[in-house]
């Protein structure tokens, strides 16, 4: 006889984790939307200094990081929720907002953690299909809001498609959302978005919509995915208070906090990383389109490309893996026939393009 787990646990979909972490430097890791840029030396040094005091629990007020974010974004610290990655805040949002009889609305395909929420809470989920251009359909999302809706998630730029909307359409959408519904605007990739403009562009929305939470992370452009730091900027302090109620007090390590504070001081480096990523985004998109592949208009550090028009992306994903290039299967992410390809270094991106060419001639899947 084995342990009998709860019905809720059995319902929760298994997160499609990327493979290849054990394969080392031989492999181009283009499957997890991480930054190719490692932490800067002063960031590593800040984390190292924090580790010296690791016999103590971290300061549970997390004030240095809250204050650094508050100064950078002009949002009072009381409205800033912190988390062990923004993923933790997505899950905590589900815990404080959803229960049987309530509803959560999000686009699909979108970030693969969102399906966890309805399964874990017993809420009903409404997945709204993207447009033919793989963009969010905010009109269709607005019409799905009912008296039972407690949470709407807008991922902008959207993972896995990379497409982004400007602040104007998002504001028009927020106008249509009743004030009892929490809207999470998941901006994990906002720094890379030319459509949004810059990471300050959406912040004015917080002054007008107390039900809005803008979710951000240090895992992408700041290159700290392994340290797990995310944050939510709220239109009021309500979200921060609620999510702090349902979590353990020590969700951020002292090293993670110190590294994040230091990383915020290097905005020139953020700009350099964004420019390098945008240049590669344009180059790889054009190379794929020149070969006849459909590629979504990406505003992020990854591309969404239809590599298998027959809908079976398995063989091409495997052929790429056989050539040492790991990308994410669209099937696992809600888009059969597609692949999500994280932009790596120019050399890694070239390796992907070369591997795709040789795979395509073997598989005869070229469009």
Is residue 85 involved in binding ligand PLP (CB under 6 A)? yes
Residue nearest to ligand PLP (CB): 85
Binds ligand PLP (CB under 6 A): choice among 30, 96, 134, 155: 155
**C-beta of 185 vs 205, nearer to ligand PLP:** 185
By CB under 6 A, residue 217 contacts ligand PLP:
yes
186 near ligand PLP, judged by CB under 6 A:
yes
Contact call for residue 230 and ligand PLP (CB under 6 A): yes
Residue 115 or 319 with smaller CB distance to ligand PLP: 115
Nearer to ligand PLP, 88 or 365 (CB): 88
Does 33 participate in binding ligand PLP (rule CB under 6 A)? yes
Which residue lies nearer to ligand PLP by CB, 184 or 308?
184
219 in contact with ligand PLP (CB under 6 A)? yes
Closer to ligand PLP by CB, 87 or 325: give it. Answer: 87
Which span sits near ligand PLP by CB under 6 A: 79-87, 257-265, 279-287, 336-344? Answer: 79-87
87 scored as a contact of ligand PLP (CB under 6 A): yes
What is the CB neighbour count within 10 angstroms for residue 86?
A: 27
115 binds ligand PLP (CB under 6 A): no
Q: Which residues bind ligand PLP (CB under 6 A)?
A: 33, 85-87, 111, 155, 159, 186, 188, 217, 219, 225, 230
């Amino acid at each position: 006889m084995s342990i009998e787990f709860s019905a809720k646990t059995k319902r929760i979909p298994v997160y499609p984790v990327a493979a290849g972490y054990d394969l080392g430097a031989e492999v181009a890791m283009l499957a997890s939307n991480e930054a190719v840029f490692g932490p800067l030396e002063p960031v590593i040094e800040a984390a190292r200094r924090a580790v010296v005091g690791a016999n103590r629990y971290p300061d549970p007020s997390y004030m240095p990081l809250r204050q650094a974010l508050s100064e950078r974004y002009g949002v009072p610290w009381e409205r800033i929720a912190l988390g062990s990655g923004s993923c933790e805040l997505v899950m905590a949002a589900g815990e404080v907002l959803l229960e049987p009889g309530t509803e959560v609305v999000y686009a699909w395909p979108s970030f693969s953690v969102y399906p966890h929420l309805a399964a874990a809470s017993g809420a009903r989920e409404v997945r709204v299909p993207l447009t033919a251009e793989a963009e969010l359909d905010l009109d269709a999302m607005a019409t799905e809001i009912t008296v039972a809706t407690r949470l709407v998630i807008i991922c902008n730029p959207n993972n896995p498609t990379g497409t982004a909307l400007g602040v104007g359409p998002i504001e028009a959408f927020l106008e249509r959302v009743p004030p009892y519904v929490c809207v999470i605007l998941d901006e994990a990739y906002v720094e890379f978005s030319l459509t949004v403009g810059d990471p300050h562009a959406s912040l004015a929305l917080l002054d007008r919509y107390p039900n809005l939470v803008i979710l951000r992370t240090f895992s992408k452009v700041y290159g700290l995915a392994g340290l797990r730091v995310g944050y939510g900027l709220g239109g009021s302090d309500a979200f921060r208070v609620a999510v702090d109620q349902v979590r353990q007090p020590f969700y951020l390590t002292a090293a993670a906090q110190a590294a994040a504070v230091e990383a915020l001081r290097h905005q020139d480096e953020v700009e350099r990383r964004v420019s390098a990523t945008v240049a590669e985004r344009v180059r790889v998109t054009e190379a794929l389109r020149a070969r006849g592949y459909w590629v979504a208009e990406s505003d992020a550090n990854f591309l969404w490309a239809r590599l298998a028009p027959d809908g079976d992306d398995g063989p091409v994903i495997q052929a790429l893996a056989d050539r040492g290039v790991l990308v994410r299967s669209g099937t696992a992410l809600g888009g059969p026939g597609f692949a999500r390809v994280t932009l790596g270094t120019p050399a890694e991106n070239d390796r992907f393009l070369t591997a795709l060419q040789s795979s395509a001639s073997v598989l005869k899947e070229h469009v």
